[in-house]
Amino acid sequence: MYRGQVKITMRIKVVKTKIFKEDENLLKFILKYIKRIPENSVLVITSKIVALSEGRVVLYKNKAQKIKLIKEESDFAIKTKLTWLTIKDGMVMSSAGIDESNAKGKLILLPKDSFQFAKKIREDLKKIFKIKNLGILITDSRIFPLRAGIVGVSLGYAGFKGIRDYRGKKDIFGRVLKMSRTDVADSLATSAVLCMGEGKEQQPLTLMTDVPIEFANKINKKELLINPKDDLYLPLFGSILKGRR
């Protein structure tokens, strides 16, 4: 990306750590592995260790217990062939984000409030490292409809604008853009999760520098959300469910 006439190259540095334990202090954990955060950086934290630090863990007992948790954690839930398809905090996800992988026989729920957590950890790290512009991004993973494999997604963030709006601006041929917006937060999450991995890498932290974003002290946590009635894919999937073409 170019900023003015200067080419900006985003850099991503993943951080390998020991296994994070339930109820461990996450700020101390971060400081153990990250000794310097440059100005204008974004620290990416996987949601799993945020949830563990908050004690959002339940001992797995049986399938019925997990289904009960899925329904309790969801705003909407429907059973499908492969999983429970749910809506939580305005996002579509499998099983309300409840995770059994790398959980050692337990169920790890999503963090209580990823936006609030990002805001708090940002304030702490800004003071410690004496920096002004710092972004915090809490990530998870999702599956896109009709695509194999997972991609990263943002559960919450602080310190930067999560969306870039091109509406009203012109493209390279002078055409006024009417709908174009870039989902900045999820784009960064996808880049980070690709590098962090989803297996046994033990890389729950990532430091991104030279990031092409607009830093901001105040953010709108609802800026990425869309009413289901206004969603682009609703007519398509509504027709599929009704058996129409």
User: Cβ of 129: how many Cβ atoms within 10 Å?
Assistant: 16
Dig out the tokens for 119 from the structure.
């805001």
User: What integer pLDDT is reported at residue 7 of this predicted model?
Assistant: 61
Give the confidence band of 1 by pLDDT, cuts at 50, 70, 90.
low
User: What integer pLDDT is reported at residue 26 of this predicted model?
Assistant: 98
Indicate the average pLDDT of the chain. 91
Asked whether residue 148 is domain-assigned, the answer is yes
How far, in Å, are 102, 148, 180, 204 from residue 194 at the CA level? 17, 15, 25, 12
Considering the domain architecture, whether residues 102 and 132 belong to the same structural domain is answered as no
Of 109, 129, 149, the residue at which a domain comes to its end is 109
Domains in the chain, number: 2
User: What integer pLDDT is reported at residue 223 of this predicted model?
Assistant: 95
* 3-class DSSP assignment, residue 127: helix
| pLDDT tens-digit series, residues 43-78 | 999 999 999 999 999 999 999 999 999 999 999 899
CA distance 109 to 118: 17
Asked whether residue 230 is domain-assigned, the answer is no
State which residues form the domain around 90.
57-109
What's the whole-number mean pLDDT along residues 105-123? 97
User: What integer pLDDT is reported at residue 137 of this predicted model?
Assistant: 98
Considering the domain architecture, whether residues 138 and 65 belong to the same structural domain is answered as no
Of 102-106, 120-124, 233-237, the least confident: 233-237
Considering the domain architecture, whether residues 130 and 187 belong to the same structural domain is answered as yes
CB 214 within 8 A of CB 194: no
Does residue 188 surpass a pLDDT of 90? yes
Say which residues have a Cβ less than 8 Å from residue 142's Cβ, sequence separation at least 6: 91, 92, 93, 94, 150, 151, 152, 153
Using CB atoms within 10 A of its CB, is residue 6 exposed (0-12), middle (13-18) or buried (19+)?
exposed
Q: Is the dihedral of CA 222, 224, 227, 230 positive or negative?
A: positive
Dig out the tokens for 219 from the structure.
């953010």
User: What integer pLDDT is reported at residue 102 of this predicted model?
Assistant: 79
How far, in Å, are 94, 95, 110 from residue 73 at the CA level? 11, 9, 9
User: Cβ of 95: how many Cβ atoms within 10 Å?
Assistant: 20
CB 45 within 8 A of CB 57: no
Considering the domain architecture, whether residues 73 and 158 belong to the same structural domain is answered as no
Dig out the tokens for 109 from the structure.
């729920």
User: What integer pLDDT is reported at residue 244 of this predicted model?
Assistant: 43
Considering the domain architecture, whether residues 7 and 118 belong to the same structural domain is answered as yes
Considering the domain architecture, whether residues 122 and 187 belong to the same structural domain is answered as yes
| pLDDT tens-digit series, residues 2-35 | 455 556 689 999 999 999 999 999 999 999 999 9
Q: Is the dihedral of CA 60, 66, 72, 77 positive or negative?
A: positive
| Percentage of the chain exceeding pLDDT 90 | 76
Parallel/antiparallel/unpaired status of strands 41-46 and 134-143 = parallel
Considering the domain architecture, whether residues 19 and 128 belong to the same structural domain is answered as yes
Considering the domain architecture, whether residues 28 and 68 belong to the same structural domain is answered as no
* Long-range residue pairs from 143-151, CB within 8 A, at least 24 positions apart, any chain: 143/94, 145/233, 145/237, 150/193, 150/198, 151/190, 151/193, 151/194
Rg (CA), the chain: 19
Does residue 233 surpass a pLDDT of 90? no
Asked whether residue 95 is domain-assigned, the answer is yes
